Amino acid sequence: MKKVILSLLGAAVLFTTAAPSISASEVNLESEVNQVLGTPYLWGGTTSIGFDCSGFILYVLKKFNVEDLPRTSQSQAKVGTPVAKENLRSGDLVFFNTLGTGISHAGIYLGDDQFAHSSSSKGVRISKLADTYYKDRYVTARRVVDQKSYLSMVN
């Protein structure tokens, strides 16, 4: 009889335990980036069907109520506040000269020397600023996220 009762109790717990859910406060920059990792590159793309580098930035930062950014990486590099490389924090935008003609690529800094971006050859991915390719082509960084949005990104 005890075995039957314990089996019934175990089944009740198994079937009534809710699956974990993510509340709005648990959504952060890392989880937003992870949702679109691997999305293909699409020139002019601003949706999860495909992104170019600046479209990826617009898509992700919009999740944190940052909606007034320009469309291109060249224009994005002119807004916000300049940030020294050693003072980067999550959500800062990082800019690169990949074509030899000025700013031509951008990403979102994630912390720990990593940034997320939409690469023309590999789609949305995470790379390191210290990688030789990006280290040699790094131009500047800008802080475009206010304190409230920043806190929602990292909490």
What is the domain partition of the chain in residue ranges? 2-154
What the block records as the tokens of 110 is 């994630």
CATH number of 2-154: 3.90.1720.10
Rounded CA separation 140/77 (Å) = 8
pLDDT category at 50 given cuts 50, 70, 90 is very high
Cα dihedral 67, 73, 79, 84, rounded to 10, equals: 120
What the block records as the tokens of 41 is 């590159």
Q: What is the pLDDT of residue 46?
A: 97
Instruction: Return the active site residues.
Output: 53, 105, 117
Query: Between β-strands 114-119 and 46-47, what pairing exists: parallel, antiparallel or unpaired?
Result: unpaired
Residue 17 has pLDDT above 50, yes or no: no
pTM for the whole thing?
0.82
Q: Report yes or no: 76 and 69 within 8 Å, Cβ to Cβ.
A: yes
Q: What is the pLDDT of residue 25?
A: 37
Rounded CA separation 113/26 (Å) = 23
- Looking at every residue in the chain, the average pLDDT score rounds to 86
Q: What is the pLDDT of residue 2?
A: 43
Say which residue the tokens 């909606």 belong to.
Answer: 67
Rounded CA separation 65/62 (Å) = 5
User: Could you read off the pLDDT of 67-102 as tens digits, one per residue?
Assistant: 899 999 999 999 999 999 999 999 999 999 999 999
Q: What is the pLDDT of residue 77?
A: 98
